[in-house]
Amino acid sequence: MRAILEIRNLSTRFDTRSGTAQAVDRVSLSLEAGKTLCIVGESGCGKSITALSIMGLVPYPGKVVGGEVLLDGVDLRTMSPVDTSKVRGNRISMIFQDPSSALNPVHTVGRQIAEVYRLHKNMSKSEAEAAAIAMLSAVGIPDPKRRMKAYPHEMSGGMAQRVMIAMALACQPEVLIADEPTTALDVTIQAQILDLMRDLQRDFGTAIILITHDLGVVAEMADHVAVMYAGQVVELADVRTLFKSPKHPYTQALLRSVPVLGQSPDMLEVIEGRVPQLTHLPEGCLFAPRCTLRRETNDPRCVNETPDLIEINDAHHCRCWLTTPAYSEGEPA
């Protein structure tokens, strides 16, 4: 199946008073049409900044300093601002984590959705309003004609998130980026939102990048998974392979920290330490200071040399000196 979106060596940095923070470090990803790629990792590992870098929405003082974002073979980073505005919201859209801050509080939700149609589809006011009502109905909002007149603060968190999804899918984009779209919602509403995204993907054939820290959501939604740590992709595989045979010590630790139904351990396993400050990254493997396997083996490469993300087999990639066969067997990178 063809790749609708290819990310090649994407790098983003923030120049701060404390130094330069490499928030996204040479990230390469591929997304097939009609498939879902989940990006997982702890808070601060670079997931959201990767999404904003793809969209060209990195806030100041951040800056994308390298790489390509290819949508159907065309690099979005080389487009003019005018051409970018035609693509963003039309062919590639994003659902933000917090709808209360993403929606404009002084305009009704109906006007905000209708504006997407008027901007990208050149519809008249009446046509755009009719299309907005239809989209609100499609995302499961009851009495959509009345809800068109509501302001964001008058809607629940779940309803506001559905409005964000309606705006993102208004033009039936080829690629949808969802940045933790269910984080602030209760479990019942979360399940409804995920079901909605699946249904809309089936109906429109949209390719989805889903950013989350919830491995249960990953197991339910993903076709492929990218695990990020400190701005780098440390493991990349299809979802079955990742859960059945994780290779990177960080991925293994993440999976061990998830409670298992029917098991009641005295204490959940935790990953000691924290994600390093991006302005003061350690030498060698970025996960080495927290890695129990590194402490067991005491391999000097872990703290002195930075491993590359290399293919193990069948599109399974890993960035580790100790668990990647080509490294562990002494072969050159």
Q: What is the pLDDT of residue 148?
A: 94
pLDDT, tens digit, for every residue of 276-332?
Answer: 999 999 999 999 999 999 988 899 999 999 999 999 888 899 999 998 776 665 443
| CB-CB contact of 133 with 148 (8 Å) | yes
Residue 333 predicted with pLDDT over 50: no
Mean pLDDT of all residues belonging to the chain = 89
Q: Is residue 280 part of a domain?
A: yes
Q: Is residue 203 part of a domain?
A: no
Residue 265 predicted with pLDDT over 70: no
The alpha carbon dihedral of 183, 178, 243, 189 has a sign of: positive
pLDDT, tens digit, for every residue of 69-105?
Answer: 999 999 999 999 899 988 998 899 999 888 878 899 9
Q: Is residue 14 part of a domain?
A: no
By residue range, what is the domain housing residue 124?
100-170
Q: Is residue 228 part of a domain?
A: no
Q: Is residue 134 part of a domain?
A: yes
Helices and strands per DSSP (H, E), number in the chain: 14, 12
The total number of structural domains that make up the chain: 2
- Rounded CA-CA distance 83/68 in Å is 16
**Cα distances (angstroms) measured from residue 121 to each of 84, 135, 172, 217:** 15, 14, 11, 33
Both tokens assigned to 111: 């006007």
Percent share of the chain, pLDDT over 90: 59
Q: Is residue 199 part of a domain?
A: no
Q: Looking at per-residue confidence, does 209 or 166 come out higher?
A: 209
Q: Is residue 236 part of a domain?
A: no
Q: Is residue 112 part of a domain?
A: yes
Residue 264 predicted with pLDDT over 80: no
From 135, 170, 205, give the residue that closes a domain.
170
Q: What is the pLDDT of residue 319?
A: 95
Q: Give, rounded to a whole angstrom, the gap between the first and last alpha carbons of the chain.
A: 29
